[in-house]
Amino acid sequence: MWNDGGIDKNKMEAILASMVDGVMAVDMERKIILANKAAENIFHTTPGGLVGRVFADLVESREINYMLQEVLDTGREIFTETRLSCYSLSVFRLHIVAVFGTKQDIQGAVLAFHDITDARKFDQMRSEFVANVSHELRTPLTAIKGFVETLLDGALEDKLLCRRFLTIIDGETNRLTRLIDDLLSLSAIESKERRLTLKPIHMPNAILQVVNILGPQAAEKSLRMEMITQPGLPPVNADEDLVGQVLINLIDNAIKYTPDGGRVIVRVKRQGDRIITSVTDTGPGIPEESLPRLFERFYRVDKARSRELGGTGLGLAIVKHIVESHGGEVFVESTLGKGSTFGFSLWVA
């Protein structure tokens, strides 16, 4: 089967071994007679573990088996995107082509599997992002348009009503501005347009600066702000402005979600070659099922309350990207009714 074109089996195997895509060849009985290392990885078998097996016993998908049989029966070339089974999360672009003998009789087929799982996940994420942005922009724009139309229809004559509507329009405009600023920040960080200006930063000093900025907000709610640090902490190697943005996001969130008279505690400690900073609130806590998604763009546990507090749904995503751009990690812990702790790690300078 493989010598008709002048290429012996050893050369064919060498070519296949160098390929990233999974490739296998089957005979007319759909028995696998050749498979490369990539194909063995896809099907989780040991070296040589595919050869001799019947393809139908390896792949559960009826669709793929029907297509292979069609190629063996007709010689028709087939391209498709598919999963190997209903339980598989991986998506492959599958190419099946017949192998012909010297008399143009079909002697078998070659199947090539190209993993496009990441590409499809990216397409889904991009689609969801566009949908979320559209929704987030539409909500304030609809409110602004409605109030402007009401004012133009005669509400301008009522000074009290006019002032109330203009105050709402101003608030919605500020919300749009925050959303656009956050989108631009996230885009710059993700695309690495924003270059890091690294220098030694003492985290307790950076935290005190942010606490001073947000102090009036905490005072309005009679919150008790505390900072607990280990003595003699070394500095971290980080971008001062971006670290400040991380701290503002986390501490601001803690203040917003902590009820009047509660506490916000910022802790800094060393753990190996990293400095761990965490912000703990005494707010309502977060359901366990929501914890893995908190750092996703536009994910909100309580959408209505988040918007009411002025959130754009991008703050924690920005925090995650800034920290990861420094080689650090983010984390969250929470207990319903007792509060939440958000934190991040940075490398010691």
pLDDT given at position 84: 84
Say yes or no: 29 and 134 in one domain: no
Same domain, 210 and 251: yes
Same domain, 145 and 100: no
Q: Evaluate whether residue 1 is within a structural domain.
A: no
- pLDDT for 199 equals 93
Domain boundary among 89, 115, 141: 115
Instruction: Note whether residue 2 is domain-resident.
Output: no
86 and 186 together in one domain? no
CATH number at residue 161: 1.10.287.130
Q: Quick check: is 4 in a domain?
A: no
Other Cβ atoms within 10 Å of 245 Cβ, number: 18
Same domain, 201 and 180: no
* Short-list 281, 269, 167, 275, CA closest to 214: 281
Residues 304 and 174 in one domain: no
Tokens for 105, please give them: 């009789």
Please tell me the total count of domains within the chain.
3
Q: CATH number of the domain that 256 lies in?
A: 3.30.565.10
Given this model, what pLDDT does residue 141 score?
Answer: 85
Do 82 and 187 fall within a single domain?
Answer: no
Q: How far apart are CA 99 and CA 110, in angstroms?
A: 7
Could you list the residue range(s) of the whole structural domain that residue 62 is in? Answer: 9-115
- Is the same domain home to 205 and 327? yes
Q: Looking at the structure, do residues 161 and 232 belong to the same domain, yes or no?
A: no
Task: Tell me if 247 is assigned to some domain.
Answer: yes
pLDDT tens, residue by residue, 296-314: 877 777 654 555 555 567 8
Domain C-terminal end among 170, 194, 218: 194
CATH code for the domain in which residue 45 is found:
3.30.450.20
> Which pLDDT belongs to residue 4?
47
Residues of the chain with pLDDT under 50: 2, 4-7, 304
Same domain, 278 and 208: yes
Last residue of a domain, one of 166, 194, 222: 194
**77 inside domain:** yes
